[in-house]
Amino acid sequence: MSTSSSPVSVRPAGPVFYGWYIAAGGGALSLIAFGIAALGLGVLIDPMREELGWSLAAISLGFSLRSFEQGLLAPIGGVLVDRLGPRKMILTGVVLLAGGLLLFSQARSLPVYYAASVIAALGQSLGMGLPINAAMMNWFQRKRARAMGIVAAGRGGGYFIVPLFALLVTAAGWREALAIVALLIFVVGIVVALLVRDRPEHYGLLPDGETVPRAGASTPPTSSLIGMSVSAALRRRAFYLLTLSTGLTAGQSIAWTVHQVPHMTNTGFSLPEAGLVVAIYGGVQVAVRPAVGWLADLVGRHQLYIASFVLQGVGLLFFAQLSTDRLWLLPLYYLTYATGHAIWVILFITAIADHFGPRRFGTLQGLASTLTMPFGMLGPFLAGLAFDEFGSYELIFSIYAPLTALAAIFVILAGRPRGDFG
C-alpha cells in the first residue's frame, strides 16, 4: 500500500473536494442496497408465509443467518478492505449481493432460502457498509461526521424504497420484484464502484481536502499512517466497551428493521399504510442525518453519541405501543427513535476512527462486527419467536428498549476519544 504523497492518477483540480463525490456515491449505493437488502425484505415476510407456509421463526432465522455470516466474515472483510482498498471490495460485494437476491427470488425450500440469505449477506458484508465507511474515514478527519452524514442520509433514503418495493411486490409478485431489484443493485453498484477512489493521497491531497505541501516541505501524516495498530487497539478497554454498546443497540435495530412492517400490519395498519409510516420515517432520516453530522463535528461527537442510545430506548417504547388506535404516538416515535437512530448510525462508525484512528479502521470495524454478531443474530430471531408465542411484538420491543438505553453507560465508561484521531 503506497503512502506517497505523489498522485497515483491525475484529476483536474476543482472547487469541490473529490471526497464529497465519493460520499455522494456511497450514499446512492446505500440508498438502493439498504432500502432493499435490509429494510425492504421485511415486506416479503407475509407473502412468503402465505405462499410457502413457513413459520415466522423459520423466516426470521434467515435474517439471523445473515447476521451470523456478516459477523463471522467481517474481520476478513476488514483486512481485505485495508489491504485491497474499498473500490475492489465494493465491486465484489455488488456481484454477490445481486446474485444472492436472484437466488432468493427462486427459493422454494428453506435450504435454498438460507443459502440465498448467506450469499446476499456476504455481498453486504464485503462490499457495502464496511468499504464505504473505510473510504470515508480515509478521505475525512475533521469533517468525518459530516461525510458520514451524507452516506447515512442515503441509507435513510432507503426507507422511501420500502413503499415502492411494497407496490412492486403487490403488482408483480415477490419473486419478480426481487429479480428486478437485484438487477438495479448490480447496475448502480458498478457505477458507484467506478467512482470510488481509495485514499486522498493518490490525488495529492490530505483528508478534508488539505493539499499536500510542496517538495521539501514537512509533510503531515496521511490517512494511511494515522492511528493505532490492531494489537494496540485490542489492548484498550474502550474497544470492548464501544463494541458492547454497539451490540446491544444493533440487536434491537436489526429486529426493528426486520419486524417493523409485520408489527404495524399486526396492529391494524394495511401494508401500504405501514409502508407510508416507513417512508415518513425515511424522510426524517434524510433530513436529520446530514444535520446531525454537521452538528456532531461542531459540538462534539462523543456527547451526541451518548444521547442517541437514550433517545432510541424511549422511542422504541412508543413504537411498541403503536397501533391504528394510537396514532398520536407517531410524532413522538419520530422525534425520539428517528432522531436517536440518525445520530447512532453515523457515530457508531466514526467512534472507531475517533478512538483508534483510520489506519486499521477496516480490520477493527470487522472485529467489532464479529463480537456483536450474537446480538445481531438473536435480535430478529427472538422477536419472531416472541410473535409466534404471544401473537404480538409489544413485549419484545418493550424489553429491547431499556437494553438500548443501557448502552449509553458503556460509551461513557469508554471515555472521550483522543483528539489527534478525529
CATH code where residue 113 lies: 1.20.1250.20
* 326 is a domain residue: yes
- If one counts the domains in the chain, the total is 1
What residue spans of 108-143 are helical by DSSP H?
110-127, 129-139
Range of the domain at 194: 18-210+228-417
Confidence of residue 3 (pLDDT cuts 50, 70, 90): very low
Cα distances from 419 to residues 111, 270, 356, 422, in angstroms, run: 49, 49, 10, 6
Please give the share of the chain, as a percent, with pLDDT higher than 90.
23
Confidence of residue 420 (pLDDT cuts 50, 70, 90): low
* 52 is a domain residue: yes
* 218 is a domain residue: no
* 3 is a domain residue: no
What pLDDT is stored for residue 10 in this prediction?
42
Rounded Cα gap, residues 136 and 148, in angstroms: 7
What pLDDT is stored for residue 70 in this prediction?
66
What pLDDT is stored for residue 76 in this prediction?
81
Helices 144-172 and 129-139, interaxial angle, to 10°? 160
Rounded Cα gap, residues 1 and 5, in angstroms: 12
DSSP helix, strand, coil percent of the chain (3-state; round to 5): 80, 0, 20
Rounded Cα gap, residues 400 and 317, in angstroms: 9
* 150 is a domain residue: yes
pLDDT digits (tens, 9 = 90+) for 380-415: 889 988 988 888 899 999 999 999 999 999 999 988
* 271 is a domain residue: yes
Q: Dig out the grid coordinates for 39 from the structure.
A: 429494510
* 10 is a domain residue: no
pLDDT digits (tens, 9 = 90+) for 128-142: 878 988 888 888 888
Q: Is the dihedral of CA 180, 158, 250, 397 positive or negative?
A: negative
pLDDT digits (tens, 9 = 90+) for 310-339: 999 999 999 999 988 899 999 999 999 999
Please give the share of the chain, as a percent, with pLDDT higher than 70.
90
Rounded Cα gap, residues 100 and 105, in angstroms: 9
Rounded Cα gap, residues 282 and 260, in angstroms: 13
Rounded Cα gap, residues 104 and 9, in angstroms: 40
Rounded Cα gap, residues 118 and 400, in angstroms: 26
What pLDDT is stored for residue 68 in this prediction?
66
What pLDDT is stored for residue 220 in this prediction?
52
Residue 304 has pLDDT above 50, yes or no: yes
pTM assigned to the model:
0.73
Average pLDDT, the chain: 83
Q: Of the candidates 132, 148, 133, which has an alpha carbon nearest to the alpha carbon of residue 342?
A: 148
